[in-house]
Amino acid sequence: MSQGHGRGRRRGRPDTRKTIVDAARSRFLEDGYHAVTLRSVAADADVDIALIGYYFGSKKGLFGAALALPANPAELLADLLRSGDHSDFPERAARTVLRAWDDPRTGPELLSLLRRAGVDGSLSVLLREVLEAEVIRPLGALLGGSDAPQRAASFSAIMTGLVTSRYLLRLDPIASMSTEDVVAHITPLLGQALRGPGRTRRPPAATV
Amino acid sequence: MSQGHGRGRRRGRPDTRKTIVDAARSRFLEDGYHAVTLRSVAADADVDIALIGYYFGSKKGLFGAALALPANPAELLADLLRSGDHSDFPERAARTVLRAWDDPRTGPELLSLLRRAGVDGSLSVLLREVLEAEVIRPLGALLGGSDAPQRAASFSAIMTGLVTSRYLLRLDPIASMSTEDVVAHITPLLGQALRGPGRTRRPPAATV
């Protein structure tokens, strides 16, 4: 209100945080996810690199803040993999994605980001790189075994299809199905994706 | 070239076809897929309704022409369901979608349509309606049994995820996988989607 905002250096913590976020956003959009280092952002923002760790924890955290992500897929995945036993991972993953997108505080912002990525080339590249680096690759590493990257990619493709169908295109009936109904239909697909084609058991009867 | 294009009524067949296509495009974008009748397009274009049947066969065909679709999902599905035996429907469906999107003559145009649908509200509604009316609903009717609409929607969501991941976001490894590799990973997912959760057999071991 009565605080004068001069042209000099930022003085308090909120300004420092914002300066870092602004520098990170520019760097990510210009250079992509892989090329950005915490060191380069610290230099751009003219702050000590330790401050970035203090405010954002990691590159993932900085990325989420830079894009003002209300729900950071990388951090959601990390949480999912850390907690609980792994046998119900597909179901917990489906619930986590649905929760983030159904929530009126986070869903609309995620949708807006997805829409912009469709027409904004550098945002689309950034989204691709972060999904590859922070979701598909870690999940593949965890799965192990033959075809692990392809199985992780199939898993990611189902999630992408769920989000695009339910929230972007709003296709019926998937847009109007209850959370429980979506979870019931998507969980077996996610499980099948993680198992991969080598562990498919074909039904004896015709499929359609 | 030397033909004068006056302001009077169109004279030849190419002009008539184009007049119908233009009228249909306006109608579809204004009114959506459901509300458009061949009769209303014929009236707008000032032609006999029989001419629309002659040029385009059906509302599906007219829609494909109006959006200059190089590969019309509704017609691809109709072809798929007409031909062959149904046990390999998931694999044939996967191959058909990949063929349309990998083909340099049709893929870029489909991608451009998808990108525009992300930011153009009326195009997005139109795409939703045509997928519901011409893909999800006919597939659900064919499947029959409990949850048929949800199973058809899950099938459609996987295809949407495949297309979005491989062609729009170009996520690795799914963007760089060979057609055969994608078919091998996606076909069991499509089969599982059509069977639905009632016919899932969970593996005894942990999934991740």
Tens of pLDDT, residues A93-126: 999 999 989 998 888 888 888 888 877 888 888 8
Please report residues of B whose CB lies closer than 8 A to that of A181.
150
CATH of the domain at B23: 1.10.10.60
Query: What was the pLDDT predicted at B1?
Result: 40
CA distance A154 to B188: 11
Least Cα distance to B195 among A55, A188, A24, A81 occurs for A188
Same domain, B22 and B106: no
pLDDT in tens, B139-197: 999 888 889 999 999 999 999 999 999 999 899 999 999 999 999 999 999 999 999 99
CA distance A152 to chain B (A): 9
Residue A46 has pLDDT above 70, yes or no: yes
> Considering the domain boundaries, does residue A75 fall inside one?
yes
Domain termination residue (choose one: B51, B68, B85):
B68
Element housing B181 (H / E)? helix B179-195
Mean pLDDT, chain A, integer: 84
Please report residues of B whose CB lies closer than 8 A to that of A165.
153, 156-157, 160
Most A-contacting residue of B34, B167, B207 (CB-CB within 10 A), to test interface: B207
DSSP codes joined into one string, chain A: ------SS---SHHHHHHHHHHHHHHHHHHHHHHH--HHHHHHHHTS-HHHHHHHHSSHHHHHHHHTT-SS-HHHHHHHHHHSS-GGGHHHHHHHHHHHHHH-TTTHHHHHHHHHHHHH-HHHHHHHHHHHIIIIIHHHHHHH-STTHHHHHHHHHHHHHHHHIIIIIS--TTTTTS-HHHHHHHHHHHHHHHHH-GGG----SS---
Q: Of A138-147, A182-191, A192-201, B192-201, give the range with the top mean pLDDT.
A: A182-191
The partner residue sitting opposite B169, judged by closest CB among A128, A158, A208, is A128
Query: What was the pLDDT predicted at A199?
Result: 57
Closest CA in chain A for residue B87? A206
The reply to whether residue A194 touches residue B207, judged by beta carbons under 8 angstroms, is: yes
The reply to whether residue A207 touches residue B89, judged by beta carbons under 8 angstroms, is: yes
The reply to whether residue A150 touches residue B188, judged by beta carbons under 8 angstroms, is: no
Same domain, A83 and A50: no
Query: What was the pLDDT predicted at B113?
Result: 83
Model confidence at B199, pLDDT cuts 50, 70, 90, reads low
The partner residue sitting opposite A208, judged by closest CB among B136, B159, B194, is B194
Q: Of A11-20, A196-205, B32-41, B177-186, give the range with the top mean pLDDT.
A: B177-186
Residue B6 has pLDDT above 90, yes or no: no
Please report residues of B whose CB lies closer than 8 A to that of A186.
154, 157
The partner residue sitting opposite B208, judged by closest CB among A119, A143, A192, is A143
Same domain, A47 and A146: no
> Considering the domain boundaries, does residue A6 fall inside one?
no
Residue B35 has pLDDT above 90, yes or no: no
The reply to whether residue B86 touches residue A208, judged by beta carbons under 8 angstroms, is: yes
Same domain, B40 and B102: no
Model confidence at A13, pLDDT cuts 50, 70, 90, reads low
> Considering the domain boundaries, does residue A1 fall inside one?
no
**Domain of residue A78, residue span:** 70-197
Domain termination residue (choose one: A48, A68, A88):
A68
Which residues are within 8 A (CB) of B104 and not within 5 positions of it... i.e. 6 or more apart? none
Same domain, A184 and A111: yes
> Considering the domain boundaries, does residue A100 fall inside one?
yes
Cα distances (angstroms) measured from residue A160 to each of A79, A168, B143, B154, B162: 19, 10, 24, 12, 8
Same domain, A95 and A153: yes
CA distance B25 to B69: 12
Query: What was the pLDDT predicted at B202?
Result: 47
Same domain, A47 and A88: no
Query: In the predicted model, what is the mean pLDDT of residues A134-145?
Result: 89
CA distance B103 to B4: 38
pLDDT in tens, A61-83: 888 888 777 777 777 787 887 77
Residue A5 has pLDDT above 70, yes or no: no
Same domain, A77 and A64: no
Query: In the predicted model, what is the mean pLDDT of residues B124-150?
Result: 89
> Considering the domain boundaries, does residue B144 fall inside one?
yes
State how many domains chain A has: 2
CATH of the domain at A129: 1.10.357.10
Query: What was the pLDDT predicted at B60?
Result: 85
Least Cα distance to B184 among B157, B206, B162 occurs for B162
CA atoms within 13 A on the CB side of B145: 14
CA distance B27 to chain A (A): 20
The reply to whether residue B191 touches residue A202, judged by beta carbons under 8 angstroms, is: yes
Same domain, A76 and A156: yes
**What type of residue sits at position A190?**
L
Query: What was the pLDDT predicted at A48?
Result: 93
Closest CA in chain A for residue B190? A189
**Pick the residue with more confidence: B124 or A176?**
A176
Please report residues of B whose CB lies closer than 8 A to that of A168.
118, 124
> Considering the domain boundaries, does residue A5 fall inside one?
no
Q: How many CB contacts within 8 angstroms connect chain A with chain B?
A: 194
Residue A203 has pLDDT above 70, yes or no: no
The reply to whether residue B150 touches residue A207, judged by beta carbons under 8 angstroms, is: no
Model confidence at B2, pLDDT cuts 50, 70, 90, reads very low
Same domain, B89 and B112: yes
Model confidence at A6, pLDDT cuts 50, 70, 90, reads very low
> Considering the domain boundaries, does residue B207 fall inside one?
no
Cβ contact A77:A135 at 8 Å? yes
Most B-contacting residue of A101, A171, A176, A187 (CB-CB within 10 A), to test interface: A171
pLDDT in tens, B43-101: 999 999 999 999 988 888 888 888 777 777 777 787 887 776 778 899 999 999 999 89
Same domain, A18 and A121: no
> Considering the domain boundaries, does residue A4 fall inside one?
no
Query: In the predicted model, what is the mean pLDDT of residues B1-24?
Result: 65
> Around Cβ A193, how many Cβ atoms within 10 Å?
27
Which tokens sit at B106?
């049709």
Domain termination residue (choose one: A36, A51, A68):
A68
Which tokens sit at A111?
């949708």
The reply to whether residue B90 touches residue A197, judged by beta carbons under 8 angstroms, is: no
Query: What was the pLDDT predicted at A70?
Result: 72
Query: In the predicted model, what is the mean pLDDT of residues A122-137?
Result: 87
Residue A43 has pLDDT above 90, yes or no: yes
Closest CA in chain A for residue B206? A87
Residue A204 has pLDDT above 50, yes or no: no
* ipTM given for this complex: 0.79
Which residues are within 8 A (CB) of A81 and not within 5 positions of it... i.e. 6 or more apart? A89, A138, A142
Which residues are within 8 A (CB) of B49 and not within 5 positions of it... i.e. 6 or more apart? B38, B39, B42
Same domain, A64 and A74: no
Query: What was the pLDDT predicted at A179?
Result: 96
The pLDDT > 70 percentage for chain A reads 88
